[in-house]
Amino acid sequence: MPSIEISAGSIPASATPEEAASIGAAIQRFQVDTAVAAPPEDTAPNPWARAALVEGVSAKDDFGPRDPRELF
């Protein structure tokens, strides 16, 4: 959302200082109330996934004997 800057041109010339302050405060309050929320912070990876990454494990890696007759 683009930032709205309060300038002398955005407040009518006939406004009293109190009215001008009220208009500026209302614009500022609107900006705060309608601001986009910050994205959540990155969370730590699943401990099991982290361990697999550290160990270099891949789901595509073969493990165990390929032929059951190789067990003996």
* DSSP per-residue codes, 5-41: PP-GGGS-TT--HHHHHHHHHHHHHHHHHTPPPPPPP
- Residue 61, pLDDT > 80, answer no
CA distances from 53 to 13, 41, 44 (A): 65, 21, 13
Q: Give the pLDDT of residue 34.
A: 92
Give the mean model confidence (pLDDT) for residues 34-44: 83
Q: What would the DSSP string read from start to end of 43-72?
A: PPPPHHHHHHHHHT--TTS--S-SSGGGG-
Q: Is pLDDT of 37 > 70?
A: yes
CA 9 to chain centroid? 35
